[in-house]
Structure 1
């Protein structure tokens, strides 16, 4: 709102020249901006005071004049005075609107930090790609190294005053470039004041990073951004963000459309035509397994080797050709794995709202009635086979059941100790219910309660059970998690699940002696 005040730029000029600091150009520029901000704040208090209080006083005076007009009328002088008051109120309202617009940073919240666009435009004006192999100008392609080198030299030149000034002009004035609060409108109006210092900052930046450390700087910034990117980008954006999958949107759309159709509740669906993604696909080429069979057997109707044998690993006498139906089940296993880990993701919340959760939240319910026909239900049907390859690692113990879930060894405690399970007080209890703290060091111990003491024939099993509890007490108060038993690192892997689903024969085939180097692998 200060920019609309007459003589403001001249005041900024005097304040700016009054401050002097020692250091690098960027350091001095930042310190002068900070000092200038304090000068403006002090001047604002003297010049404008409390806008809200002034507005209230003016409105009260207007209210009194309006009331007098209704009772006895106004003199010519009072009518002129009322017009002046209204003009002053409109001016204060304009200032107040500008103030709150900048205060709320509405454009900043909706569109992001304008500083990003500022430096992106400067960077893009210098280098569009990391490496130039060819260059096309008006349809003419330049491939000679000397021709490309000339263009690279132009891209890597120092920042010029005119291109910096053009970027400043192009940026919208109402947006703020950073936490200092100075809008781009400030730079538009006061460019002659700060121009020298801004150009010095770009000169410093080029001298330090120009062509030498730019890759290191870019990597550092990318690593920082990766940490917060998931919180900054809307959860509806499922592409190009770590931890999100583009197919999440497909699942969400399928479940929403299916659920609305089955519920018979009227509604409107907006369909976007993704022409480039699907209209040019040769759908016949997607019948991969049929193509593989035809390639292997040709026109022969007599198959001397079964397809399952062909798909077996080389070590078991096969050709290691993937069986598409089995591989598809392995791919769907990735969804089942993600469901137990990605508790806050949008796609999972959609599934939970439609199907509900099973114990511990590791999987959804299967779904019945109108909720039993979606894409997710087909994925969920693979849980029983999938879960046999998972082991639970207990932390807090609030998602893992003590007796039924496999958190100790290869089997659940219910299977390992059936007699003790029969006399347990709470057969559905989570591990958390059996954890308590003991001793000066407040260590955690497992304390399981039974409806009676052990009989003589149960003592050996009971002692073994207690030794196991002592050796497997959860060490830390961390979140419970799933561990993939087929990989040493405990992380799900599609190939390992495919191998498990394929159920390879244990017969060892001497393929090294037969194939040697004569046949391709």
Structure 2
């Protein structure tokens, strides 16, 4: 039992944290290290297979081998489920879970991406503290309060139809909140609180009272403690020189310069190929699949000339760029 905090936001946050800790303890006790268990099971099965080539296994050894194979299937399925929940790839075809790209996406948070230098207001900042200060200053300026506007629209003169929108100001109903929660993606990667949509949908009958009290505070304009549950993550990633997707050939992508050649490159290579290893010794040419015709051959030589003339920009610092596009 978790004691109630000073307000409803903190109460919900403390209960969610206590639930996460309890689930972690339960997982450590009853599930343990899945990868280690898989490795042990594979090794024991391997030794039994080696022994079976030289002699007949005893009944106990055969039963152990069958049991380990059943458990290995279950552990492999569990490992795949964990990887899917860690991944942010929402569109997965059957079989994609065994590709290198999928596992790179699923474990990308375990790799440390470091910004060693950023440029802000024409000044370079290096070191963790300076980079953090520059980023904080940039986003603080980008999200500051809007400047007073000297003009206003007279909506009365436009003659727009009047609609009764009183229903938008009514308190949150339990039914509509439950509908929104149960319409969330179930197996999407967890948010900052560590829980997936499946947790909220499955445990709604347990958490709804605390949840609705927090929603009531929000409706009444009481924002004290809201920061405890209303969190967001801002991730700054170093430049990734995608060989087939980025504009590194005179400001153009490969698919814009050579669309036919681009179509012959398998999708898994397009998503993972980097510029540095691609241009080294012309190894990008090995990525092109079969089916090269005269038109493709023309594009091939064009790309070869562009790549041969391309020079990498060494020691160019990263910079924060904030821009709006037509697509939003």
TM-score range, shorter chain: 0.3 to 0.5
Whose radius of gyration is greater, 1 or 2? 1
Bigger relative contact order, structure 1 or 2 (CA pairs below 8 A, ≥6 apart): 2
Q: TM-score, normalised by structure 1?
A: 0.30
